[in-house]
Structure 1
């Protein structure tokens, strides 16, 4: 086995997501990366998935490793916050550099976990095995579904990084899961006056209707989670009339609900704390609220009491600064729409 040494890259100083897929190619296969990969293998749950918000790239002591091993059967494997898909993409990068069969086995077990967790209707819950509560909803939150769909597509399309997946059953399973996922995305799109609009961050797994999650995550139109879903649809070659209508409806809704000339503003409040607010600025571009009321179509924010407010100033400091209430991400799909529409929309 050839180990590449690149001591100038210190993965512990970065976020796990940036280490998993954003390091220079020569880093994957370095001694440091192999230590990180050992951590990722340790943390993989027996069912095949991984827990979220875990710094796999941080050094671990032997006692810490022993605790992780004891937790192998813990029921906390999840798709939220990029969990499971991020670890799988990292292992694929590692296997492409270091042909360690344990990386391939772990990746394939992760894929089996994804296939097993999918509902028959094509959606994915947040956790698997299922946990009671909002966790059973079809989860678009934090791009969980769109991340899964991209990974499945890359696998069944035989993208170079995933060409090592040679098990025909897994490849065909990935394709079928993607197709079911597509059906679910189209079924959950919110229809208003007969026209498709966007999506909620989570939808009921039985009725497909927008659903509530945490107290401040009410059923709504989502200006954030809808972006990843539209990107999935716009990446499809030779889209069907239903997909074309879905994309056009989503784009139209985003165009009509953008908050023009809007930006974040950081400031020091009267208590001397770093704070933030949304301001109007003629030089600024557009932003979108994360949540829009299903009845009025107006943007809102909320404290942990779940009461809708129209401005950040009306909610407490903790939620005002501890949640992503506004985003500029939809601008990306709007910018790409003209080319897509010229190719497929006419």
Structure 2
């Protein structure tokens, strides 16, 4: 890569990932239940900000240390547990891309990115709660009490975050713009639904009060109802879901400019698999699974695999026996689509800028795992 191309590539990485500015809450008259939800979200955000301001006093805020994950893959020591606990916001969640190996200092931000404090994006909040639950049996008694309180607060936040119709935004308290869409992207909805199911049923969360477990169970089923109500119809046939859906109308919507409204393969497959594993007999789920599996089979790319050359250019290469899916599919035609940073849409990934070819997972194979599990399920239940 030439010096100029390297410069342009890194410059692009430093530019904001512009979204398509939207305020969902000004588009339609809001019923009282939604107005109450928004008021509660705003109040919680103000409480978080006030708590941090009190902690800060007259001092200057310190930056949180950025990390692509959290600096940890699990909690294995009391010191690590205490560090993770220190990053729980007053509202009960955690932030993404923040190093949590060392305890948060007084006056240090809870996260490295202000629009994600706290968030469910990039597995944040769900990951910390699962880590704490896993470590709980190994923790000394005083720390167990802190962990129990933290998990109670975290699960309460997730339950409070659920929209009145059962969906979840990317972050809560709400941050506005595309963050307020019901977010399947990067498996945000999947992670939250899995967490709720675990909180209600998994012995790892035995420390939760019974009423919290019941609330988590009810929230899980409301999310299932949201999925069944908003699976996208295309030409009279059920398909799958979009990466983001309008919180009120339920239709697929755009997020960042390289994430236009479209159907998604991987996130849809993960949610289908979760329903298959947990509630295959729930009313409406069988039809949803069958339609989703049919759509994924129709749209798989057979005999190909992704190939990236030394410069990062992306293409498909022959691979007999392999199957792969585009990340995004056009809402009407069902054909693979690829979006550049300027919002332009292409049917050929090679037409994207090199920065976007290198910086995004345009082809994925996650759906194969669901289809194998679904075939096995059908075989067992049709015997």
Identify unmatched segments of 5+ residues in structure 1.
1-12, 21-26, 269-273
Residue 223 of structure 1, CA deviation:
1.1
With normalisation by structure 2, the TM-score equals: 0.76
Which of 274, 297, 305 aligns to 1:232? It is: 274
The residue aligned with 2:135 is 94
Per-residue CA distance 1:315-337 (angstroms, 9 max, x = gap): 11111111111101101111111
Residue 46 to residue 345, structure 1, CA distance change in 2 (3 Å): farther
Q: Which runs of 5+ in 2 are unaligned?
A: 1-66
Shift of 1:68: 2.6
Q: Once the 2 structures are TM-superposed, how far is the Cα of residue 176 of structure 1 from its aligned partner? A: 0.9
Q: Given that residues 264 and 279 in structure 1 are in contact (C-alpha distance below 8 angstroms), is that contact kept between their aligned partners in structure 2?
A: yes
Contact 2:184 2:267 in 1 (8 A): yes
Deviations 1:290-309 (A, max 9, x none): 10011111001111111111
| Residue 200 (structure 1) aligns with | 242
CA contact (8 A) 2:71 2:100 kept: no
Q: In structure 1, what is the Cα distance between the partners aligned to 2:182 and 2:68?
A: 31
Aligned equivalents of 1:17, 1:246: Cα separation in 2: 38
| Count of aligned residue pairs for this structure pair | 312
Match of residue 77 from structure 1: 118
Q: Please say if 1:316 is aligned against 2:353.
A: yes
Q: Which has the higher contact order (CA 8 A, sep 6+)?
A: 2
Aligned to 1:154: 198
- Do structure 1's residue 65 and structure 2's residue 105 form an aligned pair? yes
- For 1:179, the equivalent position in structure 2 comes to 221
Q: Secondary structure at the match of 1:65?
A: coil
Please state how far the C-alpha of 1:193 moved relative to its aligned partner. Answer: 3.2
Retained in 1: the 8 A contact 2:302–2:324? yes
Which residue number corresponds to residue 271 of structure 1? none
Distance 1:233 1:345, change over 3 A: farther
1:290 to 316, 327, 339: 327
User: What secondary structure sits across from 1:215 in the alignment?
Assistant: coil
- Aligned-CA RMSD value: 2.3
Please give the alpha-carbon distance, in whole angstroms, between the structure 2 residues aligned to 1:304 and 1:293: 17
Higher mean alpha-carbon deviation, 319-328 vs 36-45, is at: 36-45
8 Å Cα contact 1:264/1:276 also seen in 2? no
Distance (whole Å) between structure 1 residues aligned to residue 280 and residue 243 of structure 2: 27
Could you say what secondary structure the match of 2:94 adopts? coil
